[in-house]
Amino acid sequence: MLVVYGIKNCDSVKKARSYLESRQVAYRFHDYRVDGLDAALLQGFIDALGVDAVLNQRSTSWRQLSDEQKRDLTPDKALQLMLAVPTLIKRPILDNGEQLIVGFSPDLYQTE
């Protein structure tokens, strides 16, 4: 079964969920704020996609971090930041059991 990871009030997550529902595609929604986020899950995303694909450095949340928090960013430091501030994670992340897709794009979702 598909799993959509994100935050329910995120516009991209809403679009992805609406797209899947309009096509009657069964999926489970995992909301980081409600269902939680653990280091193992996030590390799996980073291992599969790379930290640059998972960490949203263009987000409002990123801009609100201190320069110290952004400086000398290692994969482990990025992981800790995303665990502390889940809105730093690009959304949605769709897991079809074989691959992860970051963001919402009807073209990418059509192949699923």
- Reported as a single tens digit per residue, the pLDDT across 56-87 is 999 999 999 999 999 999 999 999 999 999 99
Reported confidence tier of residue 108, pLDDT bands at 50, 70, 90: confident
Tell me the C-alpha to C-alpha distance, in Å, between residue 19 and each of 23, 87, 94.
7, 22, 12
Beta-carbon-side half-sphere exposure of residue 100 (alpha carbons within 13 Å) = 19
Q: How far is Cα 51 from Cα 47, in angstroms, rounded to an integer?
A: 8
pLDDT at 33 over 70: yes
How many domains, the chain? 1
pLDDT for res 111: 59
Pairing mode, strands 93-95 and 100-102: antiparallel
Q: What domain range includes position 88? A: 2-110
Reference 91, options 25, 7, 34; nearest CA is 7
pLDDT for res 1: 87
In this structure, what CATH number is given to the domain that contains residue 95? 3.40.30.10
Residues annotated as part of the active site: 10
Reference 8, options 34, 27, 26; nearest CA is 34
Could you identify the residue written with the tokens 């939680």?
Answer: 36
Contact between 61 and 87 under an 8 Å Cβ cutoff? The reply is yes
